[in-house]
Structure 1
């Protein structure tokens, strides 16, 4: 008996010719099956690809805000570093009036200014007291999010973060523009400074035509834009 018969029994209902045909088919099936098993075994024995040397994918990270962009706000904590002058290096709290107290200089206005701008002023003023021109850096150790507010006839009224220099027109754009019944000639910017409130009236039509560009002021923390 053919040894293949043990693996693939062949029936012979119609004589020896059909038996030989069935046997050939069984042989072909056995060869195919053996080939598949051998290929699977080789694939299993293949070592896994070493990916330890590859760099992992990293997400895109937004660039941090620069010291020139950030505007200091009341409540921020600043570190003032004077190189090689440890007695002048200090950490200060920006008071509600927007000022900080600096050794040798006293109170200096800080709110609404960038750290670089403040450092330049401190450096210039300290130069009068030191033999060697000082090198001053100002960094924000802890930031409090400054905000401004837009109320009245605009598409999206509410509070907005004041993280960079923002003008009235830019603020109105953030709010989605005017509402249908907005009185564009009677816009108010309400500001509180050292406990005193003031109101600046703006005429959008004049700004739009280029005749009143000085009205397009930069906002400060806590400003309220009112569009009647």
Structure 2
């Protein structure tokens, strides 16, 4: 699996080297445009603190499983991925009504990962390639700080941003070397949920 992933990244890198001149630079999005998901949606890996008023035995902190569900006292399995904390609180109330009279539930998210579709992914020549939780107003600079910057082998100015726009994949060139090494803030662009940043290796 590791070899397949490495070959995929190298293939993307070679493709970006060959065709980077045909990709426009990533657009400078306004703050309003960047905030496309102002309400946080729960995803696998999140931690939820569930408080049931007047019932401390039913109050607990639980992780969201990889299948997007949680397990609570009296509720063995409840799907929560892709929902808000308020929606989940109402779900739990509906389930507890079978056992508790007029339950009042509050849910607080204490660990944040977010749905996979909203995560920002960084692959290739980053110091720590990984998937990141998307935050409102996130920029490429924020992403690079979290992944530890680019490696000495990176062709930073040939980085490609893959983005879904109107149901189609769009590709933009991102000047990471100018941003990280020269402090050129004109190369700092807004990120959107689901963006993939591919950082190719320099071949010369």
Which of these two proteins has the greater Rg computed from alpha carbons? 1
More RCO (CA 8 Å, sep 6+)? 2
Q: TM-score range by the shorter chain?
A: 0.3 to 0.5
